Amino acid sequence: SGAATETATVLRAGLRAVGLKPDAPLICSSFLMSFPGGRQLLFGDCAVNIDPNAEQLVHIGQHLATAAEALFGEARLALLSYSTGTSGAGASVDVVRAVAEALQAKGVTAFGPIQGDAALNPEIGARKGMGEARPNTLIFPNINAGNIGYKLMQELAGAQAIGPLLHGFARPMADLSR
């Protein structure tokens, strides 16, 4: 649903009608971004969690890793930040670093903190000390960054945004962005 309904209404209906998976402490979203030329990336969370804390970002990362494995055969997550590696400091960078480390401890291939250019361009990533991350999933630190990012890709790069796909529900659900 969602063609004529706000995402919040779709989420409330989903929680009432479908419910959460037993092991899902939260719901989140992703967009499958399909670029001209065939490249595809998963972007999350761009539609549900406004300002997730570190624990919530770990859960978002786990949900999107599962989705990436189903879509792409493997999950390679980039935890985006304004800083790459140890080039910057601050509360938001520390959160992203902690999330990347927590996901790695759970067996998820995760890079971060990493800037968008270093995540998307292997040459830049190598110059910034991240090797060739080659992620297929970008995890944004908050809904502002994620929503802005996916809409910029639609308008500037001609990407098709499929979603939001919803994660954490007991059954498959998708919202249809108006």
What does the CA dihedral 134, 109, 58, 40 come to, rounded to 10 degrees? Answer: 30
Q: Which three-class secondary structure state does DSSP give residue 17?
A: helix
**Which pLDDT belongs to residue 16?**
93
Q: How far apart are CA 161 and CA 158, in angstroms?
A: 9
Tell how strand 160-167 and strand 137-139 pair up: unpaired
**Which pLDDT belongs to residue 102?**
97
**Which pLDDT belongs to residue 133?**
79
Instruction: Supply the pTM of this predicted model.
Output: 0.92
Closest CA to 110 of 65, 47, 149, 54: 65
Q: In this predicted model, what pLDDT tens digit does every residue of 124-170 receive, in sequence order?
A: 988 888 877 789 999 999 999 999 999 999 999 999 999 889 999 99
> Does the pLDDT at position 88 exceed 90?
no
Closest CA to 86 of 112, 118, 60, 48: 112
The mean predicted confidence, pLDDT, of the chain is 92
In which band, very low, low, confident or very high, does the pLDDT at 178 lie, cut at 50, 70 and 90? Answer: low
**Which pLDDT belongs to residue 117?**
94
Contact 62, 110 (CB under 8 A): no
- Residue 135 has phi, psi (to 5 degrees) of -70, 155
Q: In this predicted model, what pLDDT tens digit does every residue of 29-57 receive, in sequence order?
A: 999 999 999 999 999 999 999 999 999 99
Q: Per the structure block, which two tokens stand in for 77?
A: 């997550």
**Which pLDDT belongs to residue 169?**
94
**Which pLDDT belongs to residue 128?**
87
Could you list the beta-strand ranges (E) of the chain.
Answer: 28-34, 40-44, 77-80, 110-114, 137-139, 160-167, 173-174
Q: Per the structure block, which two tokens stand in for 170?
A: 């007991």
**Which pLDDT belongs to residue 10?**
86
In which band, very low, low, confident or very high, does the pLDDT at 2 lie, cut at 50, 70 and 90? Answer: low
